[in-house]
Structures are given as C-alpha cells and as structure tokens.
Amino acid sequence: MSVTEHLKGKSIVVTGSGRGIGRTIALEIAKAGGNVVVNDLDRDVAEEVVAEIKALGVDAVANTDSVADWEGANKMVTQAVDSFGEISAVVNNAGNLRDVIFHKMTQDDWHQVMNVHLNGSFNVSRAAATHFRNQESGCCVHMTSTSGLIGNFGQANYAAAKAGIVGLSKSIALDMQRYNVRSNCIAPFAWSRLTASIPATTPDQIARVEKLKKMTPEKVGIVVAALCSDRAAHISGQIFAVRMNEIFLMGQSRPERSSHAGDGWTIDSIFETAMPQLESHFYPLDRSQDVFSWDPV
C-alpha cells in the first residue's frame, strides 16, 4: 500500500489506539505519512499497531500511560517530542462506557467515564498546549458523540462528558487561535469494542446495533487524518459527525426565539405570554436514532 505525504513529518498522539476506531485513526494517519504515538493501556495491542504502521514504512512508538492521569498524559506528549522531534497534533479518542439508567447511576459510574473522556481530553490537550504555543502550530481532534449532542437513554455520564468535550474544544480553538492552533470535534458512528457493549435486548436496541455494525471505523479515521493535515489549517471550532460515507456539520447553540416584557416578568405572565411564544420551538426529547433515522449510506 502506498503512503501519501499529507502528514509527512508530523508527529501525532492518538489515545486509545490499540483497537477499534483508535487503531483505524492511527493507521489512516500513518497512511498519510504521519508518525504516531500509539497509546493504549494494553502494551501488546499497542505494539501490534506499531508493527502495522512500521510495515507501511512509517515510524511509530507504543505508549501505555492513562489519559486520566496528568503525569501519564504529559509522558505521552513528551514521548512524541523525544521520538519524533515535535508534537503536531493530538487525537483524543480514548474512551469507556458505564451505561446505566440515571436513577441507578453511582458516583463510580460517573467518575470512571468523566475521568477518561473529559478529564483525559483536557489532560492530553493541555500537555500538548505548551509545545503548540512555543512552536506556534498544532491541532486537536476530539471524539464527541451524538449522545451528548442530541441524547440517548442510560448514558448521563457519557453524554455529559461528550458534551463537555465540545465546550473544551471550542475553548481551545478560541484561546489558542493566536498561536495557529486549531481544535475540532468528531461524533463518530462506527462499530467498535466500545459500542459492542451497548445493550441490545429490545427490538429498538437491536435495530440500532445492526445499523452500527454496518458502519466501519475506516470512514472515521480518514476524516481525522484530513483534519490533522495542513489543508485543514482554516478549520477550527467545528463539530462534525461521520456516518459511513456521510460527513455532517453539526449545529452549535444559538438563540432560536425570544420573548420580551418591558415591565419584567411574573410567574403568571411567563406562562401566559413567554412560554406560548417559545414552545413551538421547544426541542423534543429526541435520541440520536430519532434524528439520524435513515439507514447509513
């Protein structure tokens, strides 16, 4: 397989890249000529991906630090600089699931997911930020989810973390724009080890899982590689969703309608005037599969 030069000379950390979407992201970056720090808690699977990348004629190193650990996040970024001379981008892909209906969710369920997804994305991005600032260039790509953007059952921890990542990404884009650092999010639709843990006992759940199985992670990996390239230098602060051969630009919160009372509001006037004016634009309690209701193409 020929390697292109879209990412030649770049050094990219991909977290959670031993399996699933992360592995595919690492391989697509390598196919575009980028050197990769393959991060996974399991050294054996990380080394397997490193071997696959080296077989392409591109360099890679394995890293087993946890994104949830501040020192670990700094070590993986330092490893990229030590191994390849610089850090060009970070891809915050590492994830976990602890799905449970909200009224049964424990603090441990909450913290386990928040520490990996949201804290992990902060830790790795922050570790790279000093290097990005000093070299006046850099790129962050974060994995969000339609569970956070739209909603889903039994994923309050995951949805909150993924929605938080969107806010984190936008803040990085705003704060670091002056240093030519960009930050974007991708909400991936793909079958992976993570999504394989989604419960599938009801007809609705089974149908959702069957749709996910049709969506391969390669479709996500190529978009990540593109966003890491110099051709994406003008793209920052955006949220994309990737589903099979579809790329969606997702909306961001903006005012929909307003209602004004010159003398101020009372409880009665709020329900007599404001709410009737606004409620035609209320959002229904949709889930991801309600909004993306057609089969992937």
Q: Could you state, in chain order, the average pLDDT of each consecutive group of 10 residues for the chain (297 residues)?
A: 92 97 97 98 98 98 98 98 98 97 98 98 98 98 97 97 98 98 94 56 67 75 97 98 95 96 97 97 93 84
In a domain, 271, yes or no: no
Mode of pairing for the β-strands spanning 35-39 and 11-14: parallel
In a domain, 296, yes or no: no
Distance between CA atoms of residues 241 and 249, nearest Å: 6
Catalytic residue at 158? yes
b/e sequence 10-19, b meaning 16+ C-beta within 10 Å:
bbbbbbbbbb
CB 220 within 8 A of CB 188: yes
- How confident is the model at residue 233, as a pLDDT? 97
- How confident is the model at residue 228, as a pLDDT? 98
Catalytic residue among 158, 189, 191, 292: 158
The CATH number of whichever domain residue 37 belongs to comes to 3.40.50.720
Strand partners, 187: 241
In a domain, 264, yes or no: no
- How confident is the model at residue 200, as a pLDDT? 61
In a domain, 295, yes or no: no
In a domain, 289, yes or no: no
- How confident is the model at residue 295, as a pLDDT? 82
- How confident is the model at residue 216, as a pLDDT? 74
In a domain, 205, yes or no: yes
Expressed as residue numbers, the domain containing 108 is: 11-252
- How confident is the model at residue 44, as a pLDDT? 98
Closest by alpha carbon to 121, among 90, 146, 77? Answer: 90
In a domain, 52, yes or no: yes
- How confident is the model at residue 193, as a pLDDT? 53
Q: How far is CA 119 from CA 93, 123, 162, 251, 264, in A?
A: 12, 6, 11, 24, 41
The total number of structural domains in the chain stands at 1
In a domain, 282, yes or no: no
